[in-house]
Amino acid sequence: MAETKTPLLDRIARPADLRQLAKSDLRQLADELRDEMIDAVSVTGGHLGAGLGVVELTVALHYVFDTPTDRLVWDVGHQAYPHKIITERRDRIRTLRAGGGLSGFTKRAESDYDPFGAGHSSTSISAGLGMAAARDLNLKNNTGPDNNVVAVIGDGAMSAGMAFEAMNNAGAMDSRMVVILNDNDMSIAPPVGAMSAYLARILSGKTYRSFRRLLKDLSRHLPDSLQEKARQMEEYTRGFMTGGTLFEEMGFYYVGPIDGHNLDHLLPVLENVKNMQNGPVLVHVVTKKGHGYAPAEASDDKYHGVSKFNVVTGEQVKATPSAPSYTGVFAEALIDEASRDDKIVAITAAMPSGTGLDKFAAAYPDRCFDVGIAEQHAVTFAAGLASEGFKPFAAIYSTFLQRAYDQVVHDVAVQNLPVRFAIDRAGLVGADGPTHAGAFDNAYLGTLPNMVMMAAADEAELKHMVATQVAFSEHPTALRYPRGEGTGVALPQRGEVLEIGKGRVLREGGRVCLLSYGTRLAEAQLAADQLDAQGFRSSVVDARFMKPLDEALILRLAREHEILLTLEEGAIGGFGSHVMHMLAHNGALESGLKCRALVLPDIYIDQDKPDAMYDVAGLNAAQIIETVRALLGADGAQIEVVAPKAGA
C-alpha cells in the first residue's frame, strides 16, 4: 500500500487520538494539518489566512486540554477549519460553505466540539465567562465537572467594546478561565523570541506563582499603604518585562508574548495555565496570518477569504463578472459625489474592502475613517460628524449594523441627525450562511420615526439613491443593497436625486400587481413575463422607498388590481407589513383585495447557492407565479408554473 501524504493526520479522528501522540510528533502533525486545510479550501473556497495562522495553536490546545469536556470557544469562528478537521469532521471538510455541508463558522448543532456558535466577532470572552460561571455553580452543587474554559480571540476582535466589557467582568468575578489573545497584527507585542518564551514559561509556572502567593501572604502583615505599594511594584515589574499591564489592570494574569508557531514554546505555557486554580489568565500568542503557505503570507489581505484556487501557484479561480458588484458601484458613486462635496465623509467598522471604502480611502484618505470592529462607536461617531454639518456615510453590513441598534435609535433617529447608512449585504448571502444574512434591517429600522428607507433594485438605482442621500439632510437615511453582482443595466454618468417617498411603475395592466422593494424586482419582472405569455397581464412596480411609502401610488394600485403581492428580501415586519398596515388604515382591504407579503420565511436559511436559498425562501419567479395561481383560484388553474432552477 502506498504511503499517504498525511500519515499522522490519518490517525486522528478526534482530539483524544491526538493526545496519544508524542510531543515530538506534533510538528509533523501541524504540517500535515496545514496541507490538508490548504487542499480543502482550494476546492471549497472560504477563509484561508486566519486558519493557517492558528494551525499550531489548534494542535497545542487540543493536545493540552481535554476537549470537548474542556470548552474551547473560537471568536468569530472563521479560523476554525483546522479545528474542524481534527474534531471528527475531516471527511466532510470539502463540503465547507456548501448546501448541506459544514458551516464556515463554528456551530453548536454541528459538533460537541463547538460549544458556542459564532460568525460575529468579540463574543468569545463573554460566552466563555458564562460557561465558567456555570461550571462554578455546578461544582457548588456537585453536579458538573471541574473543566477548563478557553476562549481564543484575535487582536482585531479585541478592538470591540464587548470584549473589554467581558474582560472587566471576568476580572471582577475572579472566575477561572483562559483567554488566548491571538495577535497577528498588533503593535503591543515586544519582540518574540527565546527570552520572551522563557519569561512566559517562568511566569506561568507553579514555582513563580507559589512564590507570588507567598509574598502576598507575607504582605498582609504590612501596613495597608505598603501592601498596595508591594502589589504595584510586582505588577508593574512584570508589566515592564512582558507588556501586559493593561490586562493586569483588568484583573487578568498576563502571560506572554509567545511565538504561536513554535510548539516548544506553546505547550509548556498552556500546560502551566491549565493547572492554574484562581482567576482569569490571558496568554498573548503572536501569529502570522497565512503562515506556512507562501502566497497567503505574501498577501494576507487577499487570502483572508478566497475563492477556489490553485494550490501550487495560489492563483484564485474567479468567474469573470458579467456586471459590476453593488459594493463597487456604491464606492464609485460615493467617490464621484465626494469630488463635488467636501462635506462627504465615510465610516467603516473594520470592513474597508468589504464595503468598498478602501477605494474611497485611496481617493480621500482624510475623509475616510476605519474605527475597527466597533459598530456602536461607528454609528455615534457618524452622528457626531452629522451634528457638525458633515455628511457621514456609515457603510456597514446589515448583519453587523444590528450590533449598533441602540445607537441608531438613541444617537441618530431620536436626534434626527442626517447620518447616511449604506447597508451592504442586505438579504441572503450564499456561502456565509445565516450569521451573515441581512434579513432584519427592514424590520428593525422600519419602526423608527425620522428614518427614511430606500432599497436599490439594480445598480443604476443604487447610483441614484447615493445621490439622493447626499442631497437629503432633513432626516437620517438608510440605503440597502445586496451582496454580489448587479443586473447589468446601463449606468448613468451621475446619479439623479430621487423624490423622497415616490415609487416607479415599470409596466401596468391586468388583475395582478407585483410591488417589489429592492432587488427581487428582477424576479418580479421574470414572473410577469411568464404570466403575460400565458394571457395574464400583470403590473410591476418598484417601490423604491419603504419609509415614507408612496401611499397615493399604492392605494391606486390597490383600487385597480384584484391581487397585490409585495416582495422583499427581508424578514416579516418590513416593507410588506408597512404596506398592509397602510392599506388597512385606509380601508383598502375592505373591497376584497387579495394581498400577500412575500418575505423571508421565519427560519434561518443555511448556506447554499443563492438560487437554492431563494427557492427555500419562496422568492424566485416560480414561487411568485405559484402564489398568483393560488390567489386566482379556478381562473389560475391554467397557469403553468415553470419549475425552479436547480440551485444554479
Please state, in angstroms and rounded to a whole number, the distance separating the CA atoms of residues 128 and 78. 18
Q: 194 falls in which pLDDT band (50, 70, 90)?
A: low
* 550 annotated ligand binder: no
pLDDT tens by residue, 398-411? 999 999 999 999 99
Q: 647 falls in which pLDDT band (50, 70, 90)?
A: very low
CATH of domain 9-295: 3.40.50.970
pLDDT at 481 over 70: yes
**Beta strand 391-397 pairing with 344-348:** parallel
* 157 annotated ligand binder: yes
* pTM, to two decimals: 0.88
Cβ atoms within 10 A of the Cβ of 606, count? 16
C-alpha cell at 491: 449606468
pLDDT tens by residue, 505-518? 999 999 999 999 99
403 is catalytic: yes
Choose, from 248, 337, 375, 461, the residue flagged as catalytic: 375
Cβ atoms within 10 A of the Cβ of 92, count? 16
Beta-sheet strands, E only, within 276-366:
280-286, 305-306, 344-348
135 is catalytic: no
Backbone dihedral angles phi then psi of residue 193, each to the nearest 5 degrees: -170, -155
Choose, from 201, 359, 367, 403, the residue flagged as catalytic: 403
Q: Coil, strand, or helix at residue 99?
A: coil
Q: What is the pLDDT of residue 218?
A: 59
CATH of domain 504-638: 3.40.50.920
- The closest alpha carbon to 281, from 245, 248, 260, 254, belongs to 254
Q: What is the pLDDT of residue 62?
A: 98
**HSE-CB of 136 using CA atoms within 13 angstroms:** 15
* 144 annotated ligand binder: no
Q: What is the pLDDT of residue 637?
A: 84
pLDDT at 449 over 60: yes
Domain ranges of the chain: 9-295, 330-480, 504-638
CATH superfamily membership of 330-480: Thiamin diphosphate (ThDP)-binding fold, Pyr/PP domains (3.40.50.970)
Kind plus residue range of the DSSP H or E element containing 211: helix 206-219
pLDDT at 206 over 50: yes
Please state, in angstroms and rounded to a whole number, the distance separating the CA atoms of residues 278 and 175. 7
302 is catalytic: no
Asked whether the beta carbons of 571 and 439 are under 8 A apart, the reply is yes
Cβ within 8 Å of residue 633, ≥6 positions away: none
Percent of the chain with pLDDT over 70: 89
pLDDT tens by residue, 72-116? 999 998 999 999 999 999 999 999 999 999 999 999 999 999 999
Burial class (CB in 10 A: 0-12, 13-18, 19+), 174: exposed
pLDDT at 560 over 60: yes
* 121 annotated ligand binder: yes
Cβ within 8 Å of residue 159, ≥6 positions away: 350, 372, 373, 374
pLDDT at 213 over 60: no
Choose, from 107, 289, 367, 391, the residue flagged as catalytic: 289
Cβ atoms within 10 A of the Cβ of 133, count? 16
pLDDT tens by residue, 259-288? 999 999 999 999 999 988 889 999 999 999
Cα dihedral angle (243, 244, 245, 251), rounded to 10 degrees? 180
Q: What is the pLDDT of residue 311?
A: 87
87, amino acid identity: T
Kind plus residue range of the DSSP H or E element containing 241: helix 224-242
Q: What is the pLDDT of residue 646?
A: 44
Please state, in angstroms and rounded to a whole number, the distance separating the CA atoms of residues 438 and 104. 17
Q: Which of 242-246, 453-457, 574-578 is predicted least confidently?
A: 242-246
Q: Which of 41-55, 305-319, 414-428 is predicted least confidently?
A: 305-319
* 614 annotated ligand binder: no
Burial class (CB in 10 A: 0-12, 13-18, 19+), 294: exposed
Percent of the chain with pLDDT over 90: 74
Q: What is the pLDDT of residue 421?
A: 98
Q: 200 falls in which pLDDT band (50, 70, 90)?
A: low
Q: What is the pLDDT of residue 579?
A: 98
Asked whether the beta carbons of 241 and 199 are under 8 A apart, the reply is yes
* 155 annotated ligand binder: yes
Asked whether the beta carbons of 407 and 371 are under 8 A apart, the reply is no
* 293 annotated ligand binder: yes
Say what angle helices 263-274 and 26-44 make with each other, to 10 degrees: 100
Cα distances (angstroms) measured from residue 312 to each of 293, 296, 387? 10, 12, 53
Kind plus residue range of the DSSP H or E element containing 49: helix 49-53
* 159 against 16, higher pLDDT: 16
